[in-house]
Amino acid sequence: MAGLELVSKNRCFNGEVRKYSHFSVSTKCNMTFNIFLPDVALANKEKVPVLFYLSGLTCNEDNMLTKGGALPHLSRERIALVTPDTSPRATGIGGEENDWELGAGAGFYVDATQEPWNAHYKMYSYVQLEIQQLVFESFSIDSSRVSIFGHSMGGHGALILSLRNPGYYKSVSAFAPICHPSTSNWGQKQFTAYLGLNKDDWAEYDASELVKRYDGPALPILLDQGDCDQFYSSKQLQPSHFVIATKSNNTAIELEDRMQPGYDHSYWFIQTFMEEHIAFHAKHIRS
C-alpha cells in the first residue's frame, strides 16, 4: 500500500473501518478517505465488490459512516465501501474556508479550470481515477464490480461520474441530488468559480445535460427525494429536470425516481432508505 498512511482502524459489523491519508497527485495536497472492508476481504479470501459514496456540501469522509447506517447492510452483502472527502483541504488558497458553498467541503466533483482553484480542486479526477486505482491496488477489491451513490452535492457527483463513464459503474443511486446545477444557485455559483462562464463547460458536469446524450450500456439509477426537503422547495435540486431529460433520451437509462412524503434533506432521511439503496446496488453489482 505504497503512499497510504493508516490513520485509524476500528472493528465494526464483521469487518473493519479504516481511515487512510495520502498525498494526492490530482489535488496536490494530503487527502483522507475511509474504507469498510468485510472480513472476507480483510483475509484476502475473495475480491469483493465496492461502493463509492460521495457526500454533500460541508461534509467530509466521516459523515456517511457515522450517520448513514450502511455498514450492517454492506456487511451482510459482503460489499466494501469507500468514502472520500468532499474537497481538498488546507491548500493555502485565500478564502478557501470562508464560504460553506465554495472551497473546502464544496469541491462539487469537478476539475477546476479557473484560478486559484485549478491548482488543487480536481475532485473529478481524484474520485474517478486516483482513489479508485489506489483502492484496487491496495485491497482485495474486484475492480470489475463497482457502483456509486451519494447525497445532495454527492448525488450530483455520483450521477455525473456514472454518465460520463458508460459501462464502468454497475449502478448508481442518489439521495436528494443536485440534478441540474447549471440552472440552480447550487451549481451556477460553483461552476462560475471553478469552470468559468462558458456553459458548454458546465454541461460536462451537469447530470440533466449529460443524460440527454448518454449512449452507453444499461445504467440502473435509483433516485430518492423527500418532499419536505427545504432545498427541494427552493429549487436547488430539481429532480424533475433530470426525470424529463431522461425520458427524452429513450436510451438505456433505467430510472426509478421516488418522492418520499414527509422527509427532509438530513441523514435521518438517508438512514431510512439506506437498506433499500444497498439492496439495489447488491442486485446490480452481482448481476
Handedness of CA 103, 237, 82, 219 (dihedral sign): negative
Q: Is 42 exposed, middle or buried (0-12, 13-18, 19+ CB in 10 A)?
A: middle
Instruction: Specify the amino acid at residue 128.
Output: Q
**66 phi, psi to nearest 5 deg:** -90, -20
CA-wise closest residue to 280 among 224, 239, 215: 224
Pull the grid cell for residue 15: 469487518
265: annotated active-site residue: yes
- Mapped onto helix, strand or coil, the DSSP state of residue 66 is helix
208: annotated active-site residue: no
Give the Cα separation of 208 and 231 in Å (integer): 17
Q: Which residues pair with 221 in a beta bridge?
A: 172, 255
142: annotated active-site residue: no
Q: How many CB atoms lie within 10 A of CB 215?
A: 8
Query: Do the strands 141-151 and 48-54 form a parallel or antiparallel pair, or are they unpaired?
Result: parallel
Catalytic residue among 24, 87, 147, 152: 152
Catalytic residue among 151, 180, 241, 265: 265
Q: Output the CA angle 118-33-131, nearest 5 degrees.
A: 60
Catalytic residue among 26, 206, 229, 277: 229
With residue 54 as reference, give the H or E element that holds it: strand 48-54
**Buried-exposed string 95-113: b where 16+ CB fall within 10 A, e elsewhere:** ebeeeeebbbbbbbbbbbe
Asked whether the beta carbons of 14 and 39 are under 8 A apart, the reply is yes
**Buried-exposed string 166-201: b where 16+ CB fall within 10 A, e elsewhere:** eebbbbbbbbbbbbbbbebebbebbbebbbeeeeeb
What residues are labeled active site? 152, 229, 265
